[in-house]
Structure 1
Amino acid sequence: MVHPFFDPAQAAAFNELALKRDSTFELKYFGFHGLALTSRIILVVSGAKFTNVIPTDWAAEKTLTPFGVVPLLKEISVDGKITINVAESDAIDRYLAKKFGMAGDNAFEETVINSYLNNSIGMILQIYLKVFAVRDPALKAEAKEQLSNGPIPTWIKFFEQHLSDNGSNGHLVGNKITLPDIKTAHLVDIINVVKEGTITEESHPSLMKVKTTLDSIPALKAWRATDEYKAFSEFNLQHLGFA
């Protein structure tokens, strides 16, 4: 039996809602940032109406998901008559980015955006798997050292150059926020957790410009001041070592 998320009968509903920006959204994920962070930021800065849904009985809910994992996105039309669902964080991020104008204005921009995005995702996964998912302090310290002497400087070098080539305007593509800008800002934060002071305004101004540009968005600043966001950050700090 085809899983409801992947039923081709949804095609018409997807095609209709993909063009709409007045939907209501429910983003199901646990009570921390993790894999839902980027999707939450897209929804916040786009002014979308959304609710963070925290699983209350994950053992039971897990059996209903396509892969036994979250996040999951539910989109409901403004009249409440159409509902669609999207699984997997990267698919959710890209779906929302395209809906809210963060995936490029043409085929060239979309391809460049995906190139930047995939590279940063690879770097983030390395750090999470080798550092934040490791409990042994000695192994964690060793991984930090290896990353700080190889993959991280390489990523920094290329992204600082690409951002400079785009005018150091706080964006990787064009002059407005796109999906890899959000990933880049997040990556700046976690790289500085791996080794404090690695990326600063003095050492890498173009990368820091991406972060400060995103951080200055009023809607995002307002959300970060909420009790909900602070609770997510506190969980992150306790369990991963960074907020």
Structure 2
Amino acid sequence: MTRAKLDFVATDSTLTSSQKAEILKADNKDLSFAYTYWELTSAGSTSREMLVYGKAHYEFNYTTFEGWASGTVPTVFSALPVLQIKDLRPSSKSHGQEVVLAEAMVIDTFLARRFGLLGDNEWESLAIQSFYSNIHYLRERCARSTLFVAPELRKKGRDEFLNTTLVKFCEDHEHHLKANGSNGHYVGDKLSLADIHLSNIIHFFTTVQWGKMALDCFQQYESLWKVEETVKKVPAIAEWRQTDLYKGLVEKSIVFYTVYHAIPEDKP
């Protein structure tokens, strides 16, 4: 099947690379952001929460399995998420034109920079991105060991992940969070991309996937858990997580990971 494609770097596009770069220099109030992902939490949560936090002009689009199977959902790499950024400036030559971004890590980092979530200088930015990358790949390590394996191996993979991989992750991050003063943030004393991403990973593992088993692990690490407590009290994020829309995404995620990825039956 040939899937529908979004314009990314085509040389015959109506926008040159320089014009696209100029759009990205516009103020947040002069842009709109359309974020497309599955109707799940998972890898889409961090970008959604940054768009909410940044008070951006945004819309969340959701792909159905039927729509995906038809090949009509436009993407860059036959994968989600994608972010479409539209120029809203009436006087701009590119008014109404769009720039497209792909790949979760690229989109997350781009939004973090726009909304002041990448620190105050280059070193802080690099440190935040390092923590973010390590958090992001915890999800990948989880998928490799517990989801994309034969059903009869999933319980063993889960137990090894929770007892070894997750423990080592928590120990590493606890060390660095203590070094930053155990203040609920990874770098300095400001909310960052790494903080939000960790909170979403914790929320996913403890709400969607493994419940109390994951919760018991995370709560052993006081500095790490303080990040979760800090992020969930950010007014915009707290309000978003109380919406029916967000709760619906969590419920659909539980169904998806239970039905399609067969969470081990002995989950409490």
The alignment's TM-score, normalised by the length of structure 1, stands at 0.88
Change (3 A) 1:83 1:236: same
Of residues 162, 168, 173, the one that matches 1:159 is 173
Of residues 9, 19, 37, the one that matches 1:12 is 19
How many residues end up aligned between the 2 structures? 237
**Corresponding residue for residue 257 of structure 2:** 240
Partners of 1:188 and 1:207 within 8 A in 2: no
Change (3 A) 1:142 1:128: same
Of residues 49, 52, 59, the one that matches 2:60 is 52
Give CA-to-partner distance per residue, 1:189-226, whole Å, 9 cap, x none.
345454241121xx211111111111111212222222
Deviation at 1:188, TM superposition (A): 2.6
**Corresponding residue for residue 119 of structure 1:** 134
Partners of 1:33 and 1:236 within 8 A in 2: yes
- CA separation in 2, counterparts of 1:161 and 1:151? 16
Question: Is 1:221 matched up with 2:221?
Answer: no
2:7 alignment partner AA: P
1:75 alignment partner AA: I
Identity %: 27
Question: Is 1:147 matched up with 2:161?
Answer: yes
Change (3 A) 1:38 1:219: same
- CA separation in 2, counterparts of 1:61 and 1:143? 35
**Corresponding residue for residue 111 of structure 2:** 96
Structure 1: where are the runs of 5+ without partners? none
- CA separation in 1, counterparts of 2:205 and 2:244? 26
- CA separation in 2, counterparts of 1:223 and 1:3? 29
Structure 2: where are the runs of 5+ without partners? 264-268
Which has more radius of gyration?
2
Q: Provide the alpha-carbon RMSD of the alignment.
A: 2.3
Change (3 A) 1:190 1:230: closer
Deviation at 1:132, TM superposition (A): 4.1
**Corresponding residue for residue 120 of structure 2:** 105
Question: Is 1:199 matched up with 2:218?
Answer: yes
Change (3 A) 1:217 1:3: closer
Give CA-to-partner distance per residue, 1:149-175, whole Å, 9 cap, x none.
322111111101111111111110111
**Corresponding residue for residue 266 of structure 2:** none
- CA separation in 2, counterparts of 1:26 and 1:77? 12
Give CA-to-partner distance per residue, 1:17-52, whole Å, 9 cap, x none.
245221211111121112211110111111112111
Change (3 A) 1:88 1:61: farther
Question: Is 1:181 matched up with 2:184?
Answer: no
- CA separation in 2, counterparts of 1:75 and 1:15? 12
- CA separation in 2, counterparts of 1:42 and 1:188? 17
